[in-house]
Structure 1
Amino acid sequence: MSISGALSNAMTGLRAAGRGAEIVSSNISNALTPGYGRRVLELSPTAIGGAGGVRVDGVARTVDEGIASDKRLADAEQGHAQMAAQFYSKLETLIGTPDDPNSVSARVAQFETALITAASRPEAPERLSQAVTDARSLASSIANVSNGLQDARSLADRTIDEQVTALNTALKQVETLNAQITAAQVQSQDATALQDHRQRLVDEISALVPVRSVPRDHGQIALYSTGGAILLDGRAGEIGFERVNLVTPYMSVDAGTLLGLTLNGNPLRTGSESGALRGGAIGAQFAIRDEMAVTAQGELDALARDLVIRFQDPAVDPTLAPGDAGLFTDSSTAFAPADELGLAARLAVNSAVDPAQGGEAWRMRDGINAVSPGDTGNANLLQSLTAALTQGQTPASGSFGGGSYALIELVSTLTADIGAERGNADQMLSFATTRLNVLTQQQLADGVDSDDEIQRLMIIEQTYAANARVIEAVDEMMQTIMRL
């Protein structure tokens, strides 16, 4: 081998060693950086004019796309399950557990106790007033749960708007990065940093909408939701959504008072079973707004209906005529079966018995429509009210089944159902979190191994030293020749 050939070999070796050391340093410093793909230097032998050497062909980014895809889907599933668990936990807090003095079941028990106490001394005005106060507290507690449900729906609607904006922004950025990566590859430039950034964006998109990444020519990717929507293929799709300021029990997508999603102007399904963007954070918010909270509102309205009709019966209060409002009312009017939706939010005590509304508490003893006080020692009506509260009655609506329930039993059943839903949601969250953690560990194990990188660095150091020694030997040889 000629001196020039040896020098060429050594110089190309030094350049390769320097680039390799740079890559190892980058790998080690980004070992825990999300979305970072381990770099590997690609080399090949070269021979020009009889001189050998090594050529740096480029830098390869090594990522297990299978694990990355599974982790993205697991992340979306975990986010969806977390939102559902939080909703049911909040609902359980709203309705309260039996040991909570402010729960709906506790309010029912307090009202029953107040009626029994008032019946024992019907002439005592303070006991009648307490019965009115406890009736008002019971109505308010049910209305508060309904208001909390609508607050959750309103928050979900606002959150969808924010998430759709974030989704559109991320899709546009991935479209831009696709073009930049293609340009970098055409110009033989290193595009690994761009690919890292793109992977982080795809991870963010998948948390909102679970997607699968499909490779395209020239380093580009396409994104398809697991529900079948084409979010990005060449050009990014535009997701459309319009929020409302306040969601009420009467608003729904079917009624046209709430809006769903569009993709490039075309409507998308948003149901949790068949929605095009189901499964991620956006799907969870739609499930809360249009399914979970709506179902809970229906059960709560059924409970409110049961409460109202118990005391709207003339057989309980002889002063009532058919169609008159009883002790509990629908916004101070009699309940109409065709107007059950949202009843829980409108539930109120009849103003005739409520001093706070200009009524008289003695009507608890003498009747809603009594014109003047009757026999102060007559407890018959108070006993009838107590019996109406505690007697078994088949709910006219809701999913409570065909059994007969006292009001406290109906509340306990509703509370237990919500607790069961919360337990199921927690179980699904635990499973999703465990799966995500396992896949995260697998992805980390497939990523940068610091020990392996240190070993590679030691080999690069030895390679560098060997090539430097060759250059030193060439220099000595040249010096010797010059002295001849």
Structure 2
Amino acid sequence: MSITSALAGALSGLSATSRQAEILSSNVANATTPGYARRQVGLGAAVLAGHGQGVQVLGVTRDVDRHLLGERRVAQAGGGDRDVRAEFLQRVEQTLGTADNPSSLAARLAAFDQALVESAGRPESQARLNSVATTAKALISGLAAATTDIQNARASADRRIGEEVGKLNSTLQQLHELNVNLRSFTGAGRDVSALLDERQRLVDQISAIVPVREIPRDLNQIALFTVGGAPLLEGSAAVIGFTPVHTITPEMTQALGGLSGISINGRPYDTAGSASPILGGTLGALFSVRDELAVGAQGKLDAAARDLVERFAGLDPTLAPGAAGLFTDGGGAFDPLDEAGLAGRLRLNPAADPAQGGALFRLRDGLGAATEGPPGNGTLLTALHSALTGARPLASTGFIAGNRSFAVLTSDILSDASAMRLSAQSEQSFSAARLTALTDLEAQNGIDTDQEMQELLVLEKNYAANAKVIQAVADMIDTLIRLDG
């Protein structure tokens, strides 16, 4: 080996060791940086004209477990899905209230029931008749408040869908721009590790909204598809379409055109069912809240409201057939074909409500009574109480068919809400635990700062060894110079 070759080898060693030290220090500094992947410097023998010329840096690679990364992203999407569902179902349970809550539906029903019993025992008491009217309106108010809260939850989900779609479109455009830069920089032989880190972080953001599959392409390019197969990034970024609304009413559905669905590059896609490509993340869960969970909860409230109307219909001999009974649909008779949203439209019959120009004695003597009857006649009040507590078949499809009292029906609504909330929270806990486990495993396979520091110590020795070679070569050259002199 010539002196020149020895010097070139030592200098290449110093250069390679410096590059390795730079990468190791970057690994340690970014040990907790989201999206940062551990770097490794690839080294190879430098050969010139068939002779060794030291070492050369072949490139910098990112140490990423693709399978683990994909599993973590799926778990991340699942966690977002379960969080949204559990949050809504907990809200529904709180809206309906538990039995020990004085403002719950069960408590309002119990107060109405008691008022009817007490008034039937003392039909001449104006105070007890007033209690019947007051507790009936409180029950109506509870159903209306629950309806309002559920529709507000639908409107909130609709707004959040718009926000998530906006975030998706923005992030996909950023990914497209990164792909363009990566193609250019990779072709020029530049280090693209930082760009790859940024791209991984952006894909992680998307995977929380919609679970995705990442497909590698040449020159460090990627394509993105939803797990359901819809294209998000293939050459260019997809454009996701959605139109939010300002207000949602119980009658509004996506099927009837009142609410927006979703489109990708102008093509509409299902937002529910096995054919939907967006299920599994927060976006699919928000559509489920808006179009399924909230609609189901509202349907049960409307079924209860219909049952309440129909229980008290036909009991009053002073009313004409088909006339509105004690509970009305906005003041008029109920149309069985217009059940959606009934829980928010219930009103006490104006004839028995002093606040609407009616009179309390009609609760005792009949809604169609023109004048007061015998004050001690509690027949109608007793019939009203029997109608409330008696079991009757349900006409609505909001529940499984069967005979129920109104108390049992209300109890079914509350128990169903609690059961769904408990099930959702159980799934939420499982998803959170799975995500935590995969995140921890990913961290374990990531940057070990102790190992990095150990390698840095080895590099220090290598650097010193190459420096000694250079010093030895310098001494030899000095010796040759003196000999020539």
- How far apart, in 1, do the equivalents of 2:344 and 2:461 lie? 78
Residue of structure 2 in register with 1:62 after alignment = 63
Q: The residue matched to 1:274 in structure 2 has which SS?
A: coil
| Shift, 1:98, TM fit | 0.9
Residue of structure 2 in register with 1:263 after alignment = 264
Q: The residue matched to 2:9 in structure 1 has which SS?
A: helix
- How far apart, in 2, do the equivalents of 1:51 and 1:220 lie? 35
Residue of structure 2 in register with 1:128 after alignment = 129
Residue of structure 2 in register with 1:27 after alignment = 27
**Quick check: 2:303–2:399 contact (8 Å CA) kept in 1?**
no
- How far apart, in 1, do the equivalents of 2:172 and 2:213 lie? 13
- How far apart, in 1, do the equivalents of 2:345 and 2:394 lie? 19
- Kindly provide the CA deviation profile for residues 399-445 of structure 1, in whole angstroms up to 9, marking residues without a partner as x: 43332111111000111111111111112112211111111111111
- How far apart, in 2, do the equivalents of 1:249 and 1:399 lie? 14
Residue of structure 1 in register with 2:451 after alignment = 452
| Shift, 1:2, TM fit | 2.2
**Quick check: 2:352–2:362 contact (8 Å CA) kept in 1?**
yes
Residue of structure 1 in register with 2:16 after alignment = 16
Q: Is 1:432 paired with 2:431?
A: yes
- The 5 Å alignment of 1:299-448 reads 299-313=300-314, 316-448=315-447
- How far apart, in 2, do the equivalents of 1:86 and 1:360 lie? 44
| Shift, 1:473, TM fit | 1.7
**Quick check: 1:353–1:368 contact (8 Å CA) kept in 2?**
yes
* Structure 1 letter corresponding to 2:155: S
**Quick check: 1:400–1:413 contact (8 Å CA) kept in 2?**
no
Give me the TM-score of the superposition, normalised by structure 2.
0.97
Q: The residue matched to 1:339 in structure 2 has which SS?
A: coil
Residue correspondences, number? 482
Q: Is 1:294 paired with 2:295?
A: yes
| Shift, 1:51, TM fit | 5.7
Q: The residue matched to 2:116 in structure 1 has which SS?
A: helix
**Quick check: 1:79–1:281 contact (8 Å CA) kept in 2?**
yes
- How far apart, in 1, do the equivalents of 2:77 and 2:468 lie? 55
- How far apart, in 2, do the equivalents of 1:73 and 1:446 lie? 18
Q: The residue matched to 1:215 in structure 2 has which SS?
A: strand
- How far apart, in 1, do the equivalents of 2:274 and 2:414 lie? 26
- Kindly provide the CA deviation profile for residues 349-404 of structure 1, in whole angstroms up to 9, marking residues without a partner as x: 11111122222122111111111111111111111111111011111113433321
Q: Single out whichever of 322-331 and 425-434 deviates more from structure 2.
A: 425-434
Residue of structure 1 in register with 2:36 after alignment = 36
Residue of structure 1 in register with 2:250 after alignment = 249
- How far apart, in 2, do the equivalents of 1:359 and 1:73 lie? 61
**Quick check: 1:272–1:279 contact (8 Å CA) kept in 2?**
no
Q: Single out whichever of 109-118 and 50-59 deviates more from structure 2.
A: 50-59
- Kindly provide the CA deviation profile for residues 265-310 of structure 1, in whole angstroms up to 9, marking residues without a partner as x: 1111111432121111110110011111111111111110000111
- How far apart, in 2, do the equivalents of 1:355 and 1:28 lie? 77
Residue of structure 2 in register with 1:475 after alignment = 474
Q: Single out whichever of 117-126 and 244-253 deviates more from structure 2.
A: 117-126
Instruction: Return structure 1 stretches of 4+ with deviation > 6 angstroms.
Output: none
Q: Single out whichever of 394-403 and 91-100 deviates more from structure 2.
A: 394-403
Q: Single out whichever of 239-248 and 49-58 deviates more from structure 2.
A: 49-58
- How far apart, in 1, do the equivalents of 2:296 and 2:236 lie? 39
Q: Single out whichever of 77-86 and 356-365 deviates more from structure 2.
A: 356-365
* Structure 2 letter corresponding to 1:398: T
- How far apart, in 1, do the equivalents of 2:450 and 2:292 lie? 51
* Structure 1 letter corresponding to 2:221: Q
Structure 1: state its 5+ residue gaps.
none
* Structure 2 letter corresponding to 1:231: L
Residue of structure 1 in register with 2:4 after alignment = 4
| Shift, 1:3, TM fit | 2.0
- How far apart, in 2, do the equivalents of 1:450 and 1:118 lie? 78
- How far apart, in 2, do the equivalents of 1:401 and 1:233 lie? 47
- How far apart, in 1, do the equivalents of 2:124 and 2:287 lie? 54
| Shift, 1:125, TM fit | 1.1
Residue of structure 1 in register with 2:229 after alignment = 228
- How far apart, in 2, do the equivalents of 1:103 and 1:252 lie? 28
Percent identity of paired positions between Structure 1 and Structure 2: 47
| Shift, 1:477, TM fit | 2.3
| Shift, 1:75, TM fit | 0.5
**Quick check: 1:260–1:267 contact (8 Å CA) kept in 2?**
yes
**Quick check: 2:45–2:52 contact (8 Å CA) kept in 1?**
no
